[in-house]
Amino acid sequence: MDSATLAAASEALRGPVIGPQDPAYDGARTVYNAMIDKRPGAIVRCADAVDVVDAVRFARDHGLDLAVRGGGHSGPGLGLVDGGMTVDLAPMRWVRVAPAARIAQVGGGSLLGDLDHAAGGFGLGTPAGIVSTTGVGGLTLGGGHGYLTRRYGLTIDNLLGADVVLADGSLVSASEVSHPELFWALRGGGGNFGVVTSFTFHLHPVGTVGLALTLWPLERLHDVLRWYREFLPQAPDDVYGFFAVLTVPPAPPFPEKIHGRKMCGVVWCRTGDQDRIEDGVRDVLAAADEPGRPAFGFGAPMPYTAVQSMFDELLPPGLQWYWRGDFFDEIPDAALDVHRTYAEALPTPLSTMHLYPVDGAAHRLGRGDTAWSYRDARWSGVFAGIDPDPANAGAVRQWCVDYWQEMHPYSMGGAYVNFMGAGEGEERVRATYRDHYDRLARVKRTYDPENVFHVNQNIRPA
Ligand code: FAD
């Protein structure tokens, strides 16, 4: 961006416009994933919807590539664009809860921790991801899954409405009754349709949940996965457990003798009747003896908000991340050796693979009710190579790609859009949306015919 355009942007926009010469520039272009090193021409910090309107119009009028940054957690760094303009929603972190109506309105730049804190104060919550520094914006628009998903569905299943700044700079409210096609597309279609300045969510009573961790040595991985793939799908909706391969962190609650060991395990979350949470934890721990007594088992009732942030310290901003994903409806015997091989080859202590359940309540919506097209998937898998040291970037990337490639034949063909990596290509985006792609492309033609919002896993206008 030339200096005259940058000066014009500073003049035209109310929020601070941060350019490459600004001392705040390097901080402003830093996102969660330290592998991302993009240099926008300008970063506009938007305080409200009017700032967003002005920024979108300015970018259009000057033919600038436009990126939208919510929480900045996108693996491929889709909140930034080289040379163009980033609309940074960080100042729009606010949450307004109506406890009696069980509704939360959430600013477009809010983080999950903002929502969990505000709703949690009233014993309420809604399904969202497992690290509290993740943005509500990107997570919701891609679908959103977490500890409450088997009980209350995906994040989008609890979205009641959204205020959206469209490509032409107009602001609309989308819901079941207002711009229903746009509302359908927002629920899973990613950031393709506009800038969401506020989300409205339905909340549920959550309060205390039962957290449990069970870990086994890798020699037991085949037995554990054979048991897990049968146990979880038939378990009641208030039993949630994601499977992981991991290196045991050198910290409590893990005993020293397993610190640094490569293991497999399940992170459990029991919800439901507050009087039965302790029993629920006991039941899960007892069930987990089935594939062989875990080397480590722990369980306790905890505030939901504490569970939501328990991985924050392990995964601070500034690590190198490379990830890929795929949906799975089964874990066939043939895949077990692949999991064991790559678990043994975990390249760094933080690298991991998770299988997140997306069944239970998430299966009770119709396939066409939202843009999320994998209502038949049981697990959303992510292969994540992670390390603080940039020197290990190549190794974590290679492990992730190799593992993903070997597991892909056992997948359903497409990935959760929020677990797609950089430049996976249009065919992969189509595989994510399957037969919803054409409908999404028609909505895109209506609301963003010139593809102004293209810095995302892009859906081209029909
Ligand atoms: P950003 O990088 O800011 O944005 C990502 C995309 O969303 C961009 O295309 C951006 O333009 C768009 N976007 C963001 N906000 C808006 C908005 N208000 N309006 C329009 N477009 C917007 N996902 C899960 O579902 N469950 C999990 O448990 C989970 N755990 C995670 C843990 C970690 C540590 C990380 C890094 C990610 C996790 N994710 C999880 C994936 C997460 O959903 C995506 O990374 C998501 O894109 C993050 O959104 P963001 O707003 O922070 O990202």
In sign, the C-alpha dihedral spanning 115, 232, 429, 396 is positive
Domain count of the chain? 3
Are the C-beta atoms of residues 304 and 209 closer than 8 Å to each other? Answer: yes
Instruction: Render each residue's pLDDT in the chain as its tens digit; 462 residues.
Output: 899 999 999 998 988 999 999 999 999 999 999 999 999 999 999 999 999 999 999 999 999 999 999 999 999 999 999 999 999 999 999 999 999 999 999 999 999 999 999 999 999 999 999 999 999 999 999 999 999 999 999 999 999 999 999 999 999 999 999 999 999 999 999 999 999 999 999 999 999 999 999 999 999 999 999 999 999 999 999 999 999 999 999 998 999 999 999 999 999 999 988 899 999 999 999 999 999 999 999 999 999 999 999 999 999 999 999 999 999 999 999 999 999 999 999 999 999 999 999 999 999 999 999 999 999 999 999 999 999 999 999 999 999 999 999 999 999 999 999 999 988 999 999 999 999 999 999 999 999 999 999 999 999 999
pLDDT, tens only, 186-225:
999 999 999 999 999 999 999 999 999 999 999 999 999 9
One domain for residues 105 and 197: yes
- How many A from CA of 257 to the centre of ligand 1? 36
pTM over 0.95: yes
What string of DSSP letters covers 87-111?
EE-TT---EEEETTTTEEEEETT-B
What whole-number distance in Å separates Cα of residue 400 and Cα of residue 393? Answer: 11
Q: Which structural domain, as residue segments, surrounds residue 281?
A: 208-419
User: Which of residues 68, 88, 108 is at a domain's end?
Assistant: 88
Please indicate, yes or no, if residue 459 is contained in any of the structural domains.
Answer: no
At residue 27, the pLDDT reads 97
At residue 1, the pLDDT reads 85
- How many A from CA of 384 to the centre of ligand 1? 15
State if residue 131 touches ligand 1 by the CB under 6 angstroms criterion: yes
One domain for residues 274 and 412: yes
One domain for residues 230 and 200: no
Q: What is the CATH number of the domain that holds 42?
A: 3.30.43.10
Are the C-beta atoms of residues 167 and 200 closer than 8 Å to each other? Answer: no
Q: Which residues contact 2 (CB under 8 A, 6 or more apart)?
A: none
One domain for residues 344 and 222: yes
What whole-number distance in Å separates Cα of residue 26 and Cα of residue 9? Answer: 19
Beta strands in 99-233 (DSSP E): 103-107, 124-125, 159-165, 171-175, 195-202, 204-205, 208-217
- How many A from CA of 178 to the centre of ligand 1? 25
pLDDT, tens only, 233-279:
999 999 999 999 999 999 989 999 999 999 999 999 999 888 999 99
- State which ligand 1 atom lies nearest to the alpha carbon of 455: 9
One domain for residues 243 and 328: yes
One domain for residues 274 and 386: yes
- Picking from 227, 214, 237, 223, the residue whose alpha carbon sits closest to that of residue 294 is 214
One domain for residues 291 and 175: no
Please indicate, yes or no, if residue 456 is contained in any of the structural domains.
Answer: no
What whole-number distance in Å separates Cα of residue 164 and Cα of residue 322? Answer: 30
Query: How long is the chain?
Result: 462
State if residue 167 touches ligand 1 by the CB under 6 angstroms criterion: no
State if residue 113 touches ligand 1 by the CB under 6 angstroms criterion: no
What whole-number distance in Å separates Cα of residue 142 and Cα of residue 5? Answer: 33
- How many A from CA of 332 to the centre of ligand 1? 30
In sign, the C-alpha dihedral spanning 136, 381, 120, 102 is positive
Largest CA distance in the chain: 68
One domain for residues 133 and 118: yes
